Amino acid sequence: MRKFDLIKESQSLMNNNIVNLLSSIHEYKGKQELYIEAKPDILSNLLSIAKMQSTSSSNKIEGIYTTDERINKIVNNKVKPKNRNEEEIAGYRDVLNTIHDNYDYIDINPNIILQLHRDLYKYSGMTYGGKFKNSQNYIEETLEDGTKKIRFMPLSPVETPVAIEMLCNSYNEIITKGEIDPLLIIPVFIFDFVSIHPFNDGNGRMSRLLTLLLLHQSGYIIGKYISIEKIIEETKETYYDSLEKSSINWHNNKNDYSYFVEYYLGIILKAYKEFTSRVEYITNKKMNAKERISIIFKENVSPISKAYLIERCPDISETTIERALNNLLKENNIEKISGGRFTEYKWIGNN
C-alpha cells in the first residue's frame, strides 16, 4: 500500500519558484494581520461577499448550480433549499461556517473529516454522507465529444480508511514539530487527500473546505475574506493540469508534488494580493467612487462587468457604481462592449 510521509514529501519541494512564492505570501500575511486589527468594518463586508462566492464557486466546479439570487438567500439563511442542487449548496454553506467560526477547535483526524462530509449532505439525505466510499471510484476527464477518460485511479475502498488515518497522523506530527513551513505541508496533504478520493461523492468540495481549515489553523485566514474557491474555479484548467502532472507515479511514492504545490501557492498569493488591493481601495478616503473605479479599469486589460466592480468595492452602493459608469461613458473614458445581462466595459481613456 502507498505510504504517507509528509516530512519526506515536503522536504523535496524547495525549488526557486516555490521559495519565491513562500516569501511573497509571508510578506502579505504581515499586512493581513495589520488590516484585521485596524479595519473590522471593511472585513465584515469582505467576509459576507467571500462566503457567497465560495459557496457558489466550489459547487459550480462540480456542476452544482442555482441562480445568484438564490445563492445569496441560501447563504444568508433566508430561504430553504428547494431541490437537490440547493440542498448541497446549503450543506456547503454550513460546513464553511463551521470552519470559519470554529477552526481553532477542530482536530484533523478521520472522524472529523467524516463529520464534515456528513454535514455536507445533511439536507439531501444521501446515505453516503459521512461514510467512506464503498466502491472503486475514478478521477475522470470529460472530453469534447462528451465521452469520459479515466485520468487516475484512486485507492480502493479497503485501503481508504487506513490511508486517511495515516495521512492525518503524518500531518499532525509535522505540524506539531513546527520545523517545516505549513504552506508546504498543506497542499501536499490536500493533494494526497484528492488522490485517495475517500468518498463516493463530494471529494472536490471537501478538499477545498479542508484547504480553508488547514490554512486558518496555521494563521493564513485569507480564505475568510477572499474566496479561494472562486480563484480555483477561474483557473480550473490549470488546477486539473497540475493534478494530473503531480499524480504520475503517486501509487509508487515517486510522484512530483511541485506542480500542484506551485499551483496552490499561486492561488493563495493571488488571494492575498486581491485582499490587499480591495482593502486599500476601500480605505482610500481621498478618492471618490468614479476615481476608484477608474483605477480598477486601468489595472485590468480585459473588459470588466458591473458585478466585478461591486465585488471589488463592497462599500460602494450599486446605484453609485452605475452612476460612475454612466459618467465614464459620457466622458469617453470607457466603452460598452456588450449588452444585456452580461454587459462589460473597457477602458479607452488616455491615462
Rounded Cα distance between 153 and 156, Å, is 9
C-alpha cell of 272?
Answer: 492575498
Local confidence band at 286 (pLDDT 50, 70, 90 cut-offs)? low
Beta bridge partners of 149: 141
Local confidence band at 162 (pLDDT 50, 70, 90 cut-offs)? very high
Average pLDDT over residues 284-288: 66
Residues 6+ positions from 114 with CB-CB distance below 8 Å: 130, 131, 132
SS3 151: strand
- Residue ranges, comma separated, of all CATH 1.10.3290.10 domains in the chain are 6-281
DSSP label at residue 156: -
What's the pLDDT tens digit per position in 193-218?
999 999 999 999 999 999 999 999 99
What's the pLDDT tens digit per position in 50-84?
999 999 999 999 989 898 889 989 999 999 999 99
What's the pLDDT tens digit per position in 39-52?
666 777 788 889 99
DSSP label at residue 158: T
Q: Nearest CA to 197 among 103, 88, 117? A: 117
Beta bridge partners of 152: 139
CATH classification of 6-281, choosing from 1.10.3290.10, 3.10.450.710, 3.30.420.40, 1.10.1040.10? 1.10.3290.10
What's the pLDDT tens digit per position in 238-268?
999 999 999 999 999 999 999 999 999 999 9
> Which pLDDT score, from 0 to 100, does residue 339 have?
63
Other beta carbons within 10 angstroms of residue 222's beta carbon come to: 24
Other beta carbons within 10 angstroms of residue 200's beta carbon come to: 18
- Tell me how far CA of residue 59 lies from CA of 114, 143, 263, 283, 350, in angstroms: 19, 21, 20, 32, 41
User: What's the full length of the chain, in residues?
Assistant: 351
Residue-by-residue DSSP string for 281-350: HHH-TTS-HHHHHHHHHHH-SS-EEHHHHHHH-TTS-HHHHHHHHHHHHHTTSEEE---GGG-EEEE-S-
Question: Which of these ranges, 11-25, 131-145, 178-192, has the smallest mean pLDDT?
Answer: 131-145
Give backbone dihedrals phi and psi of 154, rounded to 5 degrees, phi first.
-70, -175
- Tell me how far CA of residue 203 lies from CA of 131, 151, 191, 192, 195, in angstroms: 12, 15, 11, 12, 9
Burial 106-123 (b: 16+ CB within 10 A, else e): bebebeebbebbbbbbeb
Pairing state of beta strands 148-152 and 344-347?
Answer: unpaired
Other beta carbons within 10 angstroms of residue 251's beta carbon come to: 15
> Which pLDDT score, from 0 to 100, does residue 7 have?
86
Written out in words, the top-level CATH class of the domain with range 286-347 is: mainly alpha
Average pLDDT over residues 2-30: 90
Rounded Cα distance between 333 and 347, Å, is 6
Other beta carbons within 10 angstroms of residue 128's beta carbon come to: 16
Is the pLDDT at 285 greater than 60? The verdict is no
> Which pLDDT score, from 0 to 100, does residue 265 have?
97
What's the pLDDT tens digit per position in 72-130?
899 999 999 999 999 999 999 999 999 999 999 999 999 999 999 999 999 998 899 99
What's the pLDDT tens digit per position in 289-318?
888 888 888 777 678 888 888 877 777 888
Whether 164 and 113 have beta carbons less than 8 Å apart is answered as yes
Rounded Cα distance between 287 and 159, Å, is 59
Rounded Cα distance between 238 and 267, Å, is 11
- Residue ranges, comma separated, of all CATH 1.10.10.10 domains in the chain are 286-347
Is the pLDDT at 24 greater than 80? The verdict is yes
